[in-house]
């Protein structure tokens, strides 16, 4: 059974730092992995989608990588800003367990 883990559950860093968020999974038979951000009381905003055949995707200051062999994806945020404060969630679409979300990492950027 696919399990998705996001550690740490919460992270606070000063503005301007580069940071990495982690997403681990147990079953490498996935179709894709998607990263989202969720602001308090809001829905999810899609950040990046990585297909199973891809190793990474980039959008602006964000870079997401995928390593199926180690069961890990990372979301790299460069030059963090207070506006980046949100909860970041990863979701897998796998052949066995369909769509599974992690519990998220709550990120706080201190001015």
Partner 1 sequence: EAGVAQSPRYKIIEKRQSVAFWCNPISGHATLYWYQQILGQGPKLLIQFQNNGVVDDSQLPKDRFSAERLKGVDSTLKIQPAKLEDSAVYLCASSLLVVDEQFFGPGTRLTVL
Q: In what order do the strands lie in the sheet with 4-5?
A: 4-5, 19-25, 72-77, 62-67, 56-59
Spatial distance between the Cα atoms of 53 and 76, rounded to a whole number of angstroms: 19
Q: For residue 24, what are the CA distances in angstroms to 68, 81, 87, 106?
A: 10, 25, 16, 16
Collapse the DSSP code of 60 into the 3-class scheme (helix H, G, I; strand E, B; otherwise coil) and give the result: coil
43 binds partner 1 (CB under 8 A): yes
For residues 3 to 42, the per-residue mask of contacts with partner 1, x marking binding by CB under 8 A and - elsewhere, is: -x--------------------------xx-x-x----xx
Q: Cβ 104 to partner 1, closest distance in Å?
A: 6
Q: Cβ 61 to partner 1, closest distance in Å?
A: 19
92 binds partner 1 (CB under 8 A): no
Count of residues interacting with partner 1 (CB under 8 A): 22
User: Can you tell me which of 33, 91, 107, 109 binds partner 1, judged by CB under 8 A?
Assistant: 91
For residue 69, count other CB atoms closer than 10 A to its CB. 6
Tokens of 38: 């969720």
- Which residues bind to partner 1, rule: CB under 8 A? 4, 31-32, 34, 36, 41-46, 49, 89, 91, 93, 98-104
């Amino acid at each position: 059974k696919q399990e998705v883990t996001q550690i740490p559950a919460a992270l606070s860093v000063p503005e301007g730092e580069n940071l990495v968020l982690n997403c681990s999974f147990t079953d490498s038979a996935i179709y894709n992995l998607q990263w989202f951000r969720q602001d308090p009381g809001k829905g999810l905003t899609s950040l990046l989608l990585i297909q199973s055949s891809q190793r990474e995707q980039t959008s602006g200051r964000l870079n997401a990588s995928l390593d199926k062999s180690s069961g890990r994806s990372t979301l790299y945020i460069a030059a963090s800003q207070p506006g980046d404060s949100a909860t970041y969630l990863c979701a897998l679409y796998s052949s066995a367990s369909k769509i599974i979300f992690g519990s998220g990492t709550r990120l706080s950027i201190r001015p």
